[in-house]
Amino acid sequence: HTDYVTSLSLSPDGTKLASASWDKTIRCWDACSGEPIEQPLQHDFLFAVTFSPSGEFVASGGYDRKVSIWRVPWWVEGRKQARHLRPPAGRRRIESSSPPPAQAAHFTPIPIATPNQHCPDTARNLNHIRSNFAHDLTGYVVQEGEEPITSGSFGDIYRGKLRLDGKSIDVAVKAIRTYSADDGDDAQKNKKLRRELKTWAKLDHVNILPLFGTTMNFGRFPAMVCPWLENGSLTSYLERRHGTLNYVERVSLISDAAAGLQYLHSQSIIHGDLSGSNVLIDANGRAFISDFGLSTLLTKLGGSTYATSSHVQGTLRWTAPELLDFQVPEDEENPPDVFPTPQSDVYSFGSIMLQILTGKVPYHYCIRDAQVLSAILKGMIPTRPSRELVTDRQWTFMQRCWMPVGAGESRPSDDEIVEFARQELVLIEKATL
């Protein structure tokens, strides 16, 4: 586990152990060898786990007031058919939590909320299919509609269907936007882009959007194929739902973003453009970080992809000031390179945190980006929201995230932002006791 273990349960026959942790996973172990069995299951706000008396099922519960029941993978097939899980007569049904990630495909979740409840495909329970994909999915992706559904920082996003091995999966196809004529070097750039995107395809974390592969026929460069997340970007999700999101759900989004960013940095990957448009939300309200490293990558590819002389329009409100490079270069032919760092990602995280708690983008009172830029030039951070929305503890932490480079106090580390989010959940727990 990557966080505190909250519960342990030994199987009735004494051969297996199940553990629950604040890292939102349930893990099963061989009690004799200590080796893990299968891949971990997922449950937010996880507090307790236990085996059923027969050893056929594992039940998990959390502070989200949900219970999930899972059939363990080692159960003999004949016994599976002989046993059925039915809620006792006269008892109300309990809402189930999100389904497990698909790399734990041999675990069968037993939904106990509504008999006909359908759990939609999510980024995690489709993740196991990635191992069967070739990185080049050209010919397997069918575009839906002529126009893009939306536009992101660096490209246009289309909805499509990925059809492979008899399966049809809703996907998002992100095509890199180009703005100049062919410079004759596309083959080399395509090769470099594919090589860099392989790093993304190898990542595996519950808060990182999986990359299935790439496809051509969506522009001059390979387009990225990812799971389609119904709730879209964090910004649009908060605009629709912030009035109905409870405090636990908001803190959960902060925790998801913190965990995803910590994982990226642990893999030596810097996001470089973290904003409300590239934190995506699935049907279960889980946050996924996407588009990491694209700003640096596309800058390296050259001017045919993206106007590298200025920051991406629309993400300025989340951008660390040191990346804006206000100084006029002394050497016009060789301007200094300005690259993002883990610390600039932490600055952006502070702005994500503010957005989640208030439901509004940073500097929401500034209508135009020029006004935001003017505020940043003057060293002004966003205005402090009311204490009903943001506690003093939360505001102090955000201010640390926004500390200027070279100031006396450094910005928080990845471990600190994850620990802060965990402590926020602990405070919620204590308040409910």
pLDDT of 113 strictly over 60: no
What CA–CA distance (Å, rounded) separates 24 from 284? Answer: 14
Mean pLDDT (the chain, rounded): 78
For 379-418, write each residue's pLDDT tens digit.
999 999 999 999 999 999 999 999 998 877 899 999 999 9
pLDDT of 169 strictly over 60: yes
What CA–CA distance (Å, rounded) separates 221 from 200? Answer: 17
Closest to 208 (Cα-Cα) out of 276, 157, 98, 282: 282
The pair of three-digit structure tokens given for residue 217, joined into one six-digit string: 């026929």
Domains and CATH numbers, the chain: 5-75 (2.40.10), 126-178+186-227 (3.30.200.20), 232-325+338-432 (1.10.510.10)
State whether residue 131 is helix, strand or coil.
helix
What CA–CA distance (Å, rounded) separates 216 from 230? Answer: 24
For 4-46, write each residue's pLDDT tens digit.
788 899 888 888 899 988 788 889 988 888 888 888 888 776 7
The pair of three-digit structure tokens given for residue 284, joined into one six-digit string: 């279960």
The pair of three-digit structure tokens given for residue 64, joined into one six-digit string: 């989200």
CB neighbours of residue 167 within 10 Å: 12
Q: Which amino acid is at 321?
A: P
What CA–CA distance (Å, rounded) separates 152 from 291? Answer: 9
325 Cβ neighbours under 8 A, 6+ residues apart: 336, 338
Contact 63, 425 (CB under 8 A): yes
**Beta strands 67-71 and 57-62: pairing type?**
antiparallel
pLDDT of 374 strictly over 50: yes
pLDDT of 106 strictly over 50: no
pLDDT of 71 strictly over 70: yes
What CA–CA distance (Å, rounded) separates 346 from 69? Answer: 37
213 Cβ neighbours under 8 A, 6+ residues apart: 130, 133, 134, 135, 136, 137, 201, 225
State whether residue 269 is helix, strand or coil.
coil
**Beta strands 287-289 and 5-10: pairing type?**
unpaired
What CA–CA distance (Å, rounded) separates 293 from 198? Answer: 12
What CA–CA distance (Å, rounded) separates 430 from 47? Answer: 13
pLDDT at residue 84, as a whole number: 45
Closest to 398 (Cα-Cα) out of 318, 304, 292, 308: 318
For 337-364, write each residue's pLDDT tens digit.
678 899 999 999 999 999 999 999 999 9
Least confident segment among 43-47, 109-113, 370-374: 109-113
Q: Is the dihedral of CA 91, 95, 101, 105 positive or negative?
A: positive
The answer to whether the pTM exceeds 0.85 is no
Annotated catalytic sites, by residue? 273
CB neighbours of residue 220 within 10 Å: 14
For 124-136, write each residue's pLDDT tens digit.
444 444 554 457 8
pLDDT at residue 116, as a whole number: 34
Report helix angle 342-358 to 234-241, nearest 10.
20
What CA–CA distance (Å, rounded) separates 362 from 347? Answer: 12
For 208-255, write each residue's pLDDT tens digit.
999 888 888 887 788 889 999 989 999 999 999 878 999 999 999 999
CB neighbours of residue 236 within 10 Å: 15
What CA–CA distance (Å, rounded) separates 161 from 269? Answer: 29
pLDDT above 90 as % of the chain = 33
Contact 154, 305 (CB under 8 A): yes
State whether residue 294 is helix, strand or coil.
helix
